[in-house]
Structure 1
């Protein structure tokens, strides 16, 4: 049964079927993969992930904490530098085994389509309800904390039955990507990049973005984070480098018309967090690009990627395109995921 009668204006709901959970990743076709492979000229690869214990602390988001590594163990002891001859004197092994408590969107990450939704009257009864991309419902398709789940990490406190990160992982995200070098043109002062600013860079660097391409934005944000050495300066972190101006309707329309398959940046939220103030006395999303991309278009966002090495290499050679391989963890039900993306040039 169809979940909705009406879809948000300008959305892609239903374009790839009523049950679609991939959104614009559908635009990464075998042809786009081949186009990405065709960009490999040197056979060089770049890691696009920060170490997952960066940025350090919880300044960027107080709810997101650094990973905690610990060894596994049992009644025989911790399994770290464990001498197996304590189990059997004939064994001659030394073994280490560990586990991690990991905030999935702490460092280099993907946002899934279950990460941000919106209030919308999809059934036409006059009452907006909390929904996600393609009309999947909060509370049933994306289940929140249960009263008896507790807060000790045990049990299913929350679960994305639909739109979880496992869909992205199974897609095996790989294809042609294009990098836009905002840092080269605007430096590292805090700047809201509107459509005119963005178009100016595309023209100056002769960057061509085609349907199905993944788009990456280099701002220098993670460069600055690395220099802070896990002691993030709150004042600086929220007031440095370029961010997209999500209140610029022309920029939102360009994102729609471009038919990019993913939107990725090296900064905290792709757009400004918090965004510019919205219209007074009118309902509006607090994060307009998240709303426009994740909720309406089914367009995944990547955040806090490490782009410096790749960006400077491309800048020196006046290139912008490359092969990007960037699957997330195949973790059923998760609404975000770390990634270790690889660019090949």
Structure 2
């Protein structure tokens, strides 16, 4: 496509600072997943020396309750129904005496971002002046628009009831998690063990602290890598056995400082595909006070999901892998982590596998 044609067809005339919108094409929905090339898969495969696997998913009913997020309920399992009867340990001989089969079949009501998860690029957008007219719009990565590409049952561009409801079901018609799933999400990942360096004291990690840890652990991050950040939050959540102590969790553990300019520049320049942590947001929340009149409450989500197309993985089980890597003098591994291929979803549970 010529640059003139691209300019006429793209959805925006200006893009935010530090954004890579359009760099992978005017209609790109993958962001930096485009950097997970076959060569990066081979880079990950070359890190496999023992054939040992690690499950990086917490149980999907962890953390338990709604203390971490009141809008996300724990999963509810129930049998499917066979007429009026529950289809669980159901003997088919009830219906046909010669049959010996006993059937189990179930369903689940699940908040897609309750436990170990991926955020899609539709998970969080920002108000931004796409057209350069001075009129901000609700927008997402690569200039996709709320109310057109990502829609809900209420169109918040208008007062509720002032405009007809969209005839389409709600969801992300662009940037949905199914795009990530179809890309397979496999390649080289790098572990940065914040707990091993700082312990579990509460600490905001800016670029200076990150550089210190990477130097101490001889970590090298290259374009196309996925970066895992072990804080120890996963071990604490498992130890709380479904009853998370929010006050204690909030007073401990390192997390990225999304307002640190050096850290933000490193994320822009490094070419990382994803930032993954064992905590609930990757970044420290609430964030440090902003110095501008209007600002993002989740500054790292703004930079990664909205501007760069860098994916965020939250509440991963990283500690057993991090300990093994440290014991064996390593920090790189093959990561395989596709989400559910669920069209229009804005996030997904994931059962990642690390192979070392």
TM-score norm. by structure 1 comes to 0.96
Instruction: Return 5+ residue gaps in structure 1 as ranges.
Output: 149-154
Kindly report which structure 2 residues correspond to 1:16-165, keeping only aligned pairs within 5 A, or say none.
16-75=24-83, 77-146=85-154, 158-165=170-177
Residue 332 of structure 2 corresponds to 321
Do structure 1's residue 6 and structure 2's residue 29 form an aligned pair? no
Provide runs of 4+ in structure 1 moved above 6 Å.
none
> Do the aligned residues in 2 keep the contact of 1:146 with 1:157 (CA within 8 Å)?
no
Do structure 1's residue 184 and structure 2's residue 196 form an aligned pair? yes
Using the alignment, how far apart are the partners of 2:211 and 2:43 within structure 1? 24
Do structure 1's residue 341 and structure 2's residue 352 form an aligned pair? yes
Do structure 1's residue 209 and structure 2's residue 217 form an aligned pair? no
Determine which of 272, 281, 288 is the counterpart of 1:269: 281
Counterpart secondary structure, 2:192: strand
- Backbone CA RMSD of aligned residues: 1.4
Using the alignment, how far apart are the partners of 2:234 and 2:243 within structure 1? 13
Counterpart secondary structure, 1:140: coil
Using the alignment, how far apart are the partners of 2:228 and 2:216 within structure 1? 17
> Do the aligned residues in 2 keep the contact of 1:60 with 1:237 (CA within 8 Å)?
no
Counterpart secondary structure, 2:354: strand
Q: Map Cα deviations across residues 281-315 of structure 1 (whole Å, 9 max, x no partner).
A: 52111110000000000111000000011000001
Do structure 1's residue 312 and structure 2's residue 323 form an aligned pair? yes
Counterpart secondary structure, 1:271: coil
Instruction: Return 5+ residue gaps in structure 2 as ranges.
Output: 1-8, 161-166
Using the alignment, how far apart are the partners of 1:157 and 1:288 within structure 2? 30
Residue 332 of structure 1 corresponds to 343
Q: Map Cα deviations across residues 252-286 of structure 1 (whole Å, 9 max, x no partner).
A: 0000100011110011100012211111x521111
Residue 199 of structure 1 corresponds to 211
Using the alignment, how far apart are the partners of 2:285 and 2:69 within structure 1? 10
Q: Map Cα deviations across residues 208-248 of structure 1 (whole Å, 9 max, x no partner).
A: 10000000000001111111111111201222211101110
Using the alignment, how far apart are the partners of 2:223 and 2:202 within structure 1? 30
TM-score norm. by structure 2 comes to 0.93
Counterpart secondary structure, 1:292: helix
